[in-house]
Amino acid sequence: MTFAQRLGLAAGLIDARLQTLLGENLVTGEGPGRCPQRLARAIGHAALGGGKRLRPLLVVESAALFGLAPERAIDAAAAVECVHCYSLAHDDLPAMDDDEVRRGRPTVWKAFDEWTAILAGDALLTLAFEILARPSTHPEPLVRLELVSGLARAAGAAGMVGGQSLDLDAEKLGLPERPALSHIRRLQGMKTGALIAFACESGAILGQAPRRERAALKAFGEALGVAFQVADDLLDAEGNAATVGKAVAKDAAQGKATLVSLMGIEDARAELARLEAQALDALTLFEARADTLRAAARFVVRRKR
């Protein structure tokens, strides 16, 4: 099976599970304890029907290293994807990146309105933690607690939210005046890398893996996360909007500091190759068991959408 086929299969599994979890947790209708119909539709728009589902695949494949079947990792995978979908719904808002197309469809605020997109994102973020707290995520309460605190850290002010803050400050306020490479690396590690690193580490948490193996997966995820962002910057600089599924050439138009704008395309490509090697290196101790994760790294680096 090719990696693309494996990713497609994982996407089918996660779509079905997300649909069920949304249905179970967001019961719509009139009265207290019910989710308003229109908000539920916006949440569905943000979370279902699109997306590569790469982060859930990373959770499932990392957990597989410790003998866990996909069903035993799927709820943690769904929680990570809920956080990712919330971040996209918010990032697309006019106050942030101001995008009208995402996953080849209108963004949530275009399909509904700004306040509904904010609230749909809020609902997905909180739902992620509700999912992690359920015994179906893992029978052991301490494991669930570790997942909750790990995801909160990855998504929060010292992780994804902090990275988004640095990114928007740079773009809209011109802060810092002359961004150094180290600033861009830090920003990208937080904005995109932290959640991807957690997706990889969460497999080790679910599998109650030894410290060394957990650290290796985290190191793999950190390199992969930054590689993902550099590949995204290269797609923005060189990609085709129809293939990518969203507007391209936005970074240069907005004067955004990225590795591509700072280093140029050739050096950014070299950096991407270096990050790929670093990610693959981190997997050495898993030998052939980590071949799908290796394929995921190759996919991230060479992706066209």
Binding site for ligand GRG (CB under 6 A): 51-52, 54, 84, 87-88, 90-91, 103, 160-161, 164, 191-192, 229, 232
- According to DSSP, the residues that pair with 101 across neighbouring strands are 106
CB of 91 to ligand GRG, least distance (A): 4
Name residue 4's amino acid.
A
- Of 62 and 144, which CB lies nearer to ligand GRG in the complex structure? 62
Residue nearest to ligand GRG (CB): 51
Q: Which is nearer to ligand GRG, 84 or 144 (CB)?
A: 84
Cα separation, 224 vs 296, whole angstroms? 9
Q: How far is the CB of 277 from ligand GRG (least distance, A)?
A: 21
Closer of 51 and 239 to ligand GRG (Cβ): 51
**3-state DSSP call for residue 105?**
strand
**The two structure tokens encoding residue 65:** 């290293």
Q: Closer to ligand GRG at the Cβ: 53 or 218?
A: 53
Using the minimum distance from each CB to ligand GRG, give the nearer residue, 54 or 259: 54
| Per-residue burial over 33-46, b = 16 or more CB atoms within 10 Å of its CB, e = otherwise | eeeeeebbebbbbb
Q: How far is the CB of 298 from ligand GRG (least distance, A)?
A: 16
Q: How far is the CB of 89 from ligand GRG (least distance, A)?
A: 8
Name 130's Cβ contacts closer than 8 Å, sequence gap at least 6.
25
Distance of CA 182 to the CA centre of its chain: 22
Alpha-carbon span 92 to 100, nearest angstrom: 7
